[in-house]
Chain A
Amino acid sequence: MKPAVFDYVRAESVAHAAEVLAGAGGDGKVIAGGQSLMPMMNFRLVKPSVLVDINAIAGLDRVELVGSRIRVGALVRHFMTARDPLIAQRAPVVTAAMKHVAHLTVRNRGTFCGSVCHADPAAEMPMMTVMLDGEIHAVSTRGKRMIPINEFFAGSLVTSLEPDEVVTAIDLATMPPNMGFGFHEFARRHGDYALAAVAVLMRRENGRPRDVRIAVMGLGEMPSRIPTAETVIEGNELSDLTIARAVESLRAAVSPNTDLHASADYRRHLAGALAKRAIGDAWLRAREAEPA
């Protein structure tokens, strides 16, 4: 038995989960898929006194359109996200990024919301949540609150979620039908954590790129947008020179780490190569989708 001793509660409802967390004195942990939490518990990097299992709570496994946003419930697993027709239609960049999330068996258990809460800087779904203006729905015995994504990530594996809060869903912006996207990632083994990845969104209007969004992961303490690179492209003719200038400003804006997998220099090089491809793909798709 590798994990340290803990108490286990199978929550019957969100309110029940929140009550148990409130009683845990800041030491409780929620488990859904557990594909990141269990390895950390097996290594005893995390030793919760209470583990609150939310798998039996009804109604948390839905993807639905709420107004103009997609709501992804806390028990929507990666394989469900990958196959979801609403996500494929309204946020196809998420479907494309899902192809890189772990392996088949891990995707069977791991959840979209769990991945975002785990806040690994080299994981795809936190990056998608940054890209699509995500909002995190959190519930505690003190009430409900909604955390905008730009107030959520606080560092590598650190978020602004309070220890007594349980996440019930994450809302994502939908992409307009004429929005092109590009997603490129490099990992040592398909499905492993990325050394670097870049995602790009843009529309085409009068022959020029509009509403440009560029996000990166694996290139700093948390996934982030790169506004300086976006500005270079926004509204300007997408020439080779423009792309080269955008790539340069992206390379200048990221601050990758050196670790045993890759040096910071190599990651910065990858960032440029991946950005170039992602910008190209986004433009191609935007051209195909441009209204006649």
Chain B
Amino acid sequence: MTVEQRKITITINGLRHSVTVEPRMLLSDMLRHELGLTGTHVGCEHGVCGACTILLDGRSARSCLTLAIQADGAEIETVEGQGTAEALGRVQQAFRDHHALQCGFCTPGFIMTITDILRNHALSGDDEIREALSGNICRCTGYEHIVAAVRELLREKDSRP
């Protein structure tokens, strides 16, 4: 069996990176350990909790269920691409405004899922918002505030000309 290292090229938040990985390295581990992008959190590591959600070629994906080598040539977006402490991204600001942050562990995953929702899905009503968020778990149970943040973001999106 060959246990070789492979060189891959990935664009993350607009920057190109060359990384050497073993085929079995998970994308979540590559982001955190090889590139120091620790904003992507790792919770359950089998696709239940949603903490590790990133965008892969524009759609949300579990980075703990994706191999880094599968993302060779792909465009990845992580929570680091959303904004900074001084200039929060729009989704981050909505979380802050609605007290949706709580302990913050699940937050990056929620932010990335919501970014996918805003870009790729037309939702109406709280039921659809809750369903769209149902793949992300918040152990602080801050759901009401998170739903309120999404509600505002969707309202804002709909009112845009």
Chain A positions within 8 Å of B, measured between CB atoms, are 1-8, 10, 31, 34-35, 38-39, 42-43, 49, 51, 53, 55, 79, 102-106, 108-109, 189-191
Contact = CB atoms under 8 A, between A and B. Distances in A.
Given A8-B69, A53-B70, A189-B134, A105 B1 contact: no
Contacts of A43: 46
A79 B29 CA distance: 26
Given A49-B1, A105-B50, A1 B131 contact: no
Interface string B30-74: 000000000000000111001001001001111011110110100
B61 A108 contact: yes
B23 A2 contact: no
A177 B46 CA distance: 41
Contacts of B66: 34, 38, 109
Interface stretch (B86-94, B113-121, B140-148): B113-121
A3 B1 CA distance: 15
B2 interface: yes
Given A8-B6, A53-B70, A106 B62 contact: yes
Nearest to B21: A1
B26 A2 contact: yes
Given A43-B46, A104-B121, A5 B60 contact: no
B60 A105 contact: yes
Given A103-B50, A105-B60, A191-B131, 14 more contacts: A1-B25, A5-B24, A6-B1, A8-B23, A31-B70, A38-B66, A51-B67, A102-B135, A104-B60, A104-B135, A105-B53, A105-B116, A106-B47, A191-B135
A109 B61 contact: yes
B3 interface: yes
B25 to A, nearest CB: 5
Nearest to B132: A104
Most buried by B among A49, A79, A104: A104
B65 A39 contact: yes
Given A34-B65, A39-B47, A104-B117, A1 B135 contact: no
29 contacts: A2-B45, A3-B24, A3-B26, A4-B24, A5-B24, A6-B24, A8-B23, A10-B72, A34-B66, A34-B67, A38-B67, A42-B26, A42-B46, A42-B64, A51-B67, A53-B70, A103-B135, A103-B136, A104-B116, A104-B117, A105-B53, A105-B61, A105-B62, A105-B135, A106-B62, A108-B59, A108-B116, A109-B56, A190-B131
B97 interface: no
A191 B134 contact: yes
Nearest to A49: B1
A116 B34 CA distance: 35
Contact of A5 (B1, B56, B134): B1
B106 to A, nearest CB: 13
A43 B64 CA distance: 12
A34 B22 CA distance: 18
A242 to B, nearest CB: 34
